[in-house]
Structure 1
Amino acid sequence: MSAIKDWDAYRAALRERGREFSALHPELVKAFTALSGAAAKAQHLDAKTRELIAVAITAITTCEGCMDAHVRKAKAAGATREEIAEALGVAVALSAGATFTHALHVLDAVGE
């Protein structure tokens, strides 16, 4: 299987750009880091479940940096390729459902 993207190179470049942005707007990056840290604290869900949810959401939001980070974290928490694929299936179904619902709104906008 060949990769579509070199994720290690992407991650390294993203981290470098993140350091640049942090130098330009340190308070924002500090706040984002605090928010991310607070969201990562497991209270009721185990780490693997939380990361599978995050992976599914990244497929919908199309944030490649988030995708990279949460796939790595999901694998570190013990998620298998099959579990990640199942979580992605939920994301695909929900995206289709959202599109279906919005299609109904479009039809409302068209009128009768």
Structure 2
Amino acid sequence: MNATDATATPLCDALRASGNWNPNWEPFAELDPAWTEKFMAMGTAPMTSGFLDAKTIEFIAIAVDASCTHLYAPGVRRHIRKALELGATKEEITAVLQCVSVLGIHSMSVAAPILLEETAAHATRVEASHK
């Protein structure tokens, strides 16, 4: 966002200043700063509500950033570092990563049956073409 924009984005600005801004969010902020500010407010509300302790928030952030739908290594690193600073153990963080790793199993549960069907169909076509 440039200085001539009328939309104030204090939360986005704070995230940038603190190093918690993902550069991939910049196009959103350019296209619609007000929407991006509202989105960031929604996304950070659970972290600022006080209902969850800081270490739990870091565990959730690690899980989100490490998930197969996100895969944001800089965030994983930042949140692991913060979790360790908050007293998390290597075993606790490993358990978080193990929990989130099962998200990817759905790729296999969708694709494996298709692979079996397609290889069977291919074999049938090959066999039919040799007759």
Query: What TM bracket, shorter-length normalisation?
Result: 0.5 to 0.7
Cα distance between partner residues in 1 of 2:29 and 2:106: 38
The structure showing larger relative contact order (alpha-carbon pairs under 8 Å, at least 6 residues apart) is 1
Cα distance between partner residues in 1 of 2:24 and 2:106: 32
**Alignment of 1:67 onto 2:76:** yes
Q: Deviations over 1:55-103 (max 9, x none)?
A: 12321220234324432442343212232122112222x0452233123
Partner of 2:92: 83
State which of 94, 98, 101 in structure 1 corresponds to 2:106: 98
Cα distance between partner residues in 1 of 2:56 and 2:66: 16
Cα distance between partner residues in 1 of 2:110 and 2:23: 36
* Residue-pair matches, total: 99
State the structure with more CA Rg.
2
Question: Alignment RMSD, CA only?
Answer: 3.6
Gaps of 5+ in 2: 1-17, 122-131
Gaps of 5+ in 1: 1-10
Task: Note closer, same or farther for the CA distance 1:54–1:105 as it changes in structure 2 (3 Å cut).
Answer: farther
Q: Which of the two has greater helix per residue? A: 1
Deviant stretches of 4+, over 3 Å: 14-23, 107-112
TM-score (normalised: structure 2)? 0.51
TM-score (normalised: structure 1)? 0.58
